[in-house]
Structure 1
Amino acid sequence: MSIGRIDLNLIKVFDAVFEDRNLLRAGKRLNLSQSAVSHALTRLREVVGDELFVRTAKGMVPTARAIAMADDLRSSLRRIEATLGVEPFDPRQSTRRFAIAANDHLTVVLVAELSRLMAVEAPHIDLVIRPSTRIDLAEQIDVGRIDLALGIFAQVPSRLSARTLMTQGELIVMRKGHPATRRKLALHDLARYPLVTVSVGGQEEGAVGGFILERGLARQAEMFDRHALEEALAGIGATPRYRTTVPHSLAIPALLRGSDMLSIMPSSLARSLAVGGDLLMREPPYPSVLSTFRGVWHSRNDHDPAHVWLRECVASAAQQVA
């Protein structure tokens, strides 16, 4: 295949369709009609000798060949654009759409603040929040379906980049009028009263030490430090009772209001849930564990102006939350 047969615009069409999985959305991003995008794909298919994308009920699904060439091809396109200074990014005028992976906790406390910031700085940009707990997160980042993943990551592979957003400890939440609110919370309270905890994967899903490892990316599976709690209670000869385990943190208030259960969670989530006044917060009666929340993205987007802008917005939102 001669390089002279390759039109750079065809690579841009491939990039847009690969990310959006939809000809209409890709066309809007490129200011092209759907038929123009389809025609460009036909030309590229002829050059490459592969179908590249297959139309299905779920959108344009890339072939194995498209997936194999996507990473290097899209990374090269970003470098060319950065070198030539083309495709300037103006957040006030841009109509881009970004996909962020986050759990419900970070959606409430961080993405909500991000949305407020973007409403002022980028009124035409859309956000799509996808669950970071129910997908192969590393693969979604690799193929460009996720622009930025938010969470606690114990391990980040070299092909991905990461940025620290905020560090916080844990708080214990209970209903107003709970017997344990009449005095300072003690270790024996955590043995006496059952717990409601958040977990999105146990050992049966491959979790090790509270983290799930996928393609080199280890993401947090539990929203509290189980080891710190159990070690503290072992010191008084006790063990915790995990009565209720849920996959979503926003179910916790309803579970606490009608029971004497306690819940251990990140401090920012605790503050958010306690705003109404019917839930109370207490410091843990053992050394509070500090967790670092980070944003993770593919390294091919390190210097992309739009992605750089998005990450700065997320960092600003995290500062407000912290």
Structure 2
Amino acid sequence: MGSFNTLDLNLLRVFDAVMEERSVLRASQKVCLSQSAVSHSLARLREMLDDELFVRTATGMQPTARALAMAPLVREALKSLEQAIELPKFEPATSTKKLTIAANDFTTMVVAPRLLHILRTEAPHVDIVIKPVTRIDLAEQIDLGRIDAAIGTFSAVPSRFKSGFLFEYDDVLVTHSSHHLGQLTTETLSELPIVVVSFGGEPEGAVDGFISERGLARRSEMYDRASFERAMSASERVPRIAVSLPHFLALPTFLDGSGLSAIVPRPLANSFAQTNPISIHELPYPTTRLEVRSLWHERYEGDASQDWLHEVMRRATEHLRVAVT
């Protein structure tokens, strides 16, 4: 009697085919072998199991009690092996998968509405969890598989992570619409109390506006401090950063009647202006154009649901790429 450790799994494929077809001829056609090869495989399996397995009758190959007991287990085992070997399929229209994305409130505001619209029409049962990128150790969460993708601006990306370009942006100044500035100059700007956003709080934990964790550097200062200070260095009056916020959500309220102005990413300013009485002003100096990218772990390469998610995020940000071309 043979051992499972020396079992040729092809013998089980032949057994399953004969069990289903009850014919050596039809079984050979199903597994793409000759009749003699199927008969030889059956003989080997019979010898190994010390059982006839199938008895030839006028109505076909009839299974023995041992074969009937084996059949459902063999079928399930072969199905499990097939699922393990083949690439997993992903059907957005019927999937109930939950996908987790890490993003700050800026990228959530400009990406999520179109992303959710695509989900409603193409993947109505897929759920999205958005985690705040600023309140977690992002690299650790990606390493642990708790985040499918992150959206942000990164200056250093470890080799174990993959990334894809979504859009780029520069900075603008926003004020309440009742605050008339005219054409903005460095002199005018130097007299304004400014609001900025820094996700890491005060900048001592950041290097050039980026915080590094486990080899991944993400942007924390959400305005181009270097360009701002360089442009204003010749001004007689030192610009005043009156308020530093940990998020963008409260900005429109801060601008209402306070005389405050804020330096923000251009796509966010456009989004604010759609629902708030806000005016957008070009800064009197150029700011560095920064890339917003999606980020994921290399282990997800080739995963059908992940490929779909990255493609959907590209489509959800298409209008932001068109806006700067």
The TM-score, its normalising length taken from structure 2, stands at 0.71
Q: Does the CA-based 8 Å contact 1:197-1:242 persist in structure 2?
A: yes
Q: Does the CA-based 8 Å contact 1:113-1:321 persist in structure 2?
A: no
4+ runs deviating over 4 angstroms: 80-83, 202-205
Q: Does the CA-based 8 Å contact 2:203-2:221 persist in structure 1?
A: no
2:203, 2:234 → 1: CA distance?
28
- Once the two structures are superposed, the pairs formed by residues 64-103 of structure 1 within 5 Å of their partners are 84-103=85-104
Measured at CA, do residues 82 and 241 of structure 1 come closer, stay the same or move farther in structure 2, by a change above 3 Å? Answer: farther
- Give the secondary-structure state (helix, strand or coil) at the position aligned to 2:230: helix
Which residue is equivalent to 2:200?
201
- Give the secondary-structure state (helix, strand or coil) at the position aligned to 2:164: strand
Measured at CA, do residues 205 and 147 of structure 1 come closer, stay the same or move farther in structure 2, by a change above 3 Å? Answer: farther
2:144, 2:199 → 1: CA distance?
23
Deviations 1:5-60 (A, max 9, x none): xxxxxxxxxxxxxxxxxxxxxxxxxxxxxxxxxxxxxxxxxxxxxxxxxxxxxxxx
- Once the two structures are superposed, the pairs formed by residues 255-270 of structure 1 within 5 Å of their partners are 255-270=254-269
Measured at CA, do residues 150 and 81 of structure 1 come closer, stay the same or move farther in structure 2, by a change above 3 Å? Answer: farther
Measured at CA, do residues 205 and 135 of structure 1 come closer, stay the same or move farther in structure 2, by a change above 3 Å? Answer: farther
Q: Does the CA-based 8 Å contact 2:203-2:209 persist in structure 1?
A: no
Amino acid at match of 1:234: S
Which residue is equivalent to 2:217?
218
Residue 260 of structure 1: how far off its partner (Å)? 1.2
Measured at CA, do residues 235 and 83 of structure 1 come closer, stay the same or move farther in structure 2, by a change above 3 Å? Answer: farther
Deviations 1:213-245 (A, max 9, x none): 000100010111011001000033443211111
1:82, 1:203 → 2: CA distance?
51
- Once the two structures are superposed, the pairs formed by residues 4-83 of structure 1 within 5 Å of their partners are none
1:169, 1:249 → 2: CA distance?
16
Q: Which sections of structure 1, spanning at least 5 residues, go unmatched?
A: 5-79
Which range moves more in the overlay, 292-301 or 188-197? 188-197
Residue 112 of structure 1: how far off its partner (Å)? 1.7
Aligned identity (percent) is 42
Q: Which sections of structure 2, spanning at least 5 residues, go unmatched?
A: 6-80
Which residue is equivalent to 1:187?
186
1:127, 1:316 → 2: CA distance?
16
Which residue is equivalent to 1:169?
170
Measured at CA, do residues 197 and 81 of structure 1 come closer, stay the same or move farther in structure 2, by a change above 3 Å? Answer: farther
- The alignment covers a number of residue pairs equal to 242
Q: Does the CA-based 8 Å contact 1:82-1:303 persist in structure 2?
A: no
RMSD over equivalenced CA pairs, Å: 1.9
- Once the two structures are superposed, the pairs formed by residues 237-276 of structure 1 within 5 Å of their partners are 237-276=236-275
Q: Does the CA-based 8 Å contact 2:101-2:148 persist in structure 1?
A: yes
Q: Does the CA-based 8 Å contact 2:155-2:210 persist in structure 1?
A: yes
- Once the two structures are superposed, the pairs formed by residues 104-183 of structure 1 within 5 Å of their partners are 104-180=105-181, 183=182
- Give the secondary-structure state (helix, strand or coil) at the position aligned to 1:249: coil
Residue 152 of structure 1: how far off its partner (Å)? 0.5
1:204, 1:317 → 2: CA distance?
32
Q: Does the CA-based 8 Å contact 1:101-1:132 persist in structure 2?
A: yes
2:196, 2:99 → 1: CA distance?
31
The TM-score, its normalising length taken from structure 1, stands at 0.72
Which residue is equivalent to 2:25?
none
Which range moves more in the overlay, 210-219 or 199-208? 199-208
Residue 130 of structure 1: how far off its partner (Å)? 0.2
Measured at CA, do residues 108 and 82 of structure 1 come closer, stay the same or move farther in structure 2, by a change above 3 Å? Answer: farther
Deviations 1:74-121 (A, max 9, x none): xxxxxx999933421111111000000000111111022111111111
Residue 179 of structure 1: how far off its partner (Å)? 3.9
Compare CA radii of gyration and give the structure with the larger one.
2
Amino acid at match of 2:151: L
Residue 204 of structure 1: how far off its partner (Å)? 6.5
Amino acid at match of 1:167: E
- Give the secondary-structure state (helix, strand or coil) at the position aligned to 1:167: strand
